[in-house]
């Protein structure tokens, strides 16, 4: 099966290529990059010298659909909303790594993204690709809105407790920290080495576009509207996201009970690992892998649950989850091509 990548030179694309290259059932098809069409991929990424010498092409929906079996789009915000309708009309399945098809409400999209939303008729065809939660819908989907990196770590950490009705929904605070690769390959002072190295920054307080995405999942899964506090920080490292999430509990439970609850919730999900009481995951412990590791602590002094969830933002937070979704859509083992151990140290 041929997998095409649209948006060829960003970090999402190069990570998709790394994963497709080791996938047992997919091989790399067309790479589309309008800005680099005609150049070989290894000119942009010399670490692929001698391996991915394939030339990039301009976007051509009918040609793409003919020569490939699935398309991954790793384009900047606001681009895939224009490309995906053409691809779907040509009958090819799409997995969109951008935020364009994640929010069902076009008003919310405009409010948080500050530009035009996708066409509503196509928006309706999108399935939110949080693999562990929407597994069945994903199997039959034609268009996947692959979740954001922060929403993946946040919602996998929150859902077991909010779905049991043990959580005080008004109390949810997510203190999120990310490595710098999450900001992409576009040049910016906020990715400039000397500004970021040996520095810790908070950014977009109360304004991050992943807030409505997290709230939409929480509402879908609980049936009630939940408003969260969500703060993002930039950590001087390349990869990794940690969400430290605080939830007031409506009943007294112990750390052990919380661990048991989470373990049962994810017992069929190979990529979610719940840590034993007293152990807390660090971001490096999932580096390069598709795992989401979760540690839990209930403070008996405040009856508040602290959830620590970590992912590699480019794998489970982007390309890895996209491959996981492709596996589900094709009826393969969801672990196909994703069984690497984390790279440590």
Provide the terminal-to-terminal Cα distance of the chain, rounded to the nearest Å. Answer: 34
Residues numbered 15 to 34 that lie near a copy of itself (CB under 8 A) are 17-18, 21-22
Of 94, 149, 243, 292, the active-site residue reads: 149
The tokens of 155 are what?
């919602």
Report the distance separating Cα 194 and Cα 316, nearest Å: 28
Nearer to a copy of itself, 133 or 308 (CB): 308
In 68-148, which residue ranges form alpha helices assigned H by DSSP? Answer: 80-89, 106-113, 120-123, 135-139
* Part of the chain binding a copy of itself (CB under 8 A), chosen from 26-34, 81-89, 227-235, 321-329: 227-235
Strands 241-248 and 272-274: unpaired
Confirm or reject binding of residue 299 to a copy of itself (CB under 8 A): yes
Nearer to a copy of itself, 145 or 243 (CB): 243
Residues numbered 257 to 276 that lie near a copy of itself (CB under 8 A) are 273, 275
Residues numbered 41 to 100 that lie near a copy of itself (CB under 8 A) are 45-51
Nearer to a copy of itself, 261 or 280 (CB): 280
Active site residue 94: no
- Inter-CA distances, 113 with 105, 147, 194, Å: 12, 15, 28
Confirm or reject binding of residue 287 to a copy of itself (CB under 8 A): yes
- What's the DSSP call for residue 301? T
To a copy of itself, the closest distance from the beta carbon of 184 in angstroms equals 9
* 179 burial level (CB within 10 Å; 0-12, 13-18, 19+): buried
Q: How many residues bind a copy of itself (CB under 8 A)?
A: 83
Confirm or reject binding of residue 340 to a copy of itself (CB under 8 A): yes
- Under a CB-based contact definition with an 8 Å cutoff, are residues 314 and 287 in contact? no
- Under a CB-based contact definition with an 8 Å cutoff, are residues 214 and 157 in contact? no
Residues numbered 156 to 195 that lie near a copy of itself (CB under 8 A) are 170-171, 173, 175, 177, 179-181, 185, 187-189, 191-195
Catalytic residues: 149
């Amino acid at each position: 099966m041929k997998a095409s990548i649209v948006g060829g030179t960003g970090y999402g694309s190069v990570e998709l290529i790394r994963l497709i290259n080791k996938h047992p059932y997919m091989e790399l098809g067309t790479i589309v990059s309008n800005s680099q069409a005609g150049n070989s991929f290894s000119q942009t990424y010399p670490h692929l010298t001698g391996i991915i010498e394939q030339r990039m092409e301009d976007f051509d929906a009918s040609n793409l659909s003919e020569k490939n079996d699935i398309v991954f789009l790793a384009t900047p915000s606001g681009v895939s909303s224009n490309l995906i309708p053409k691809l779907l009309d040509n009958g090819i399945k799409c997995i969109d790594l951008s935020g364009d098809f994640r929010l069902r409400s076009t008003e919310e999209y405009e409010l948080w993204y500050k530009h035009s939303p996708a066409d509503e008729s196509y928006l309706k065809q999108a399935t939110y690709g949080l693999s562990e939660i929407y597994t069945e819908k994903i199997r039959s989907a034609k268009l996947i809105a692959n979740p954001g990196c922060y929403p993946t770590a946040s919602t996998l950490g929150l859902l077991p407790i909010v779905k049991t009705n043990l959580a005080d929904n008004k109390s949810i605070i997510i203190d999120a920290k990310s490595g710098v690769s999450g900001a992409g390959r576009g040049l910016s002072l906020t990715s400039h080495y000397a500004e970021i190295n040996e520095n810790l920054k908070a950014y977009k307080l109360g304004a991050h576009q992943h807030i409505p995405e997290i709230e939409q999942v929480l509402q879908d899964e609980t049936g009630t509207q939940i408003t969260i506090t969500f703060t993002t920080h930039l950590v001087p490292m390349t990869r990794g996201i940690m969400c430290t999430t605080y939830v007031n509990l409506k009943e007294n439970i112990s750390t052990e009970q919380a661990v048991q609850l989470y373990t049962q919730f994810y017992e069929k999900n190979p990529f979610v690992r719940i840590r034993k009481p007293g152990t807390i995951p660090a971001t490096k412990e999932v580096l390069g892998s598709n795992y989401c590791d979760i540690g839990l602590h209930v403070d008996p002094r405040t009856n508040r649950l602290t959830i620590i969830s970590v992912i590699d933002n480019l794998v489970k937070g982007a390309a890895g989850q996209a491959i996981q979704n492709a596996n589900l859509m094709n009826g393969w083992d969801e672990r196909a091509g994703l069984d690497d151990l984390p790279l440590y140290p």
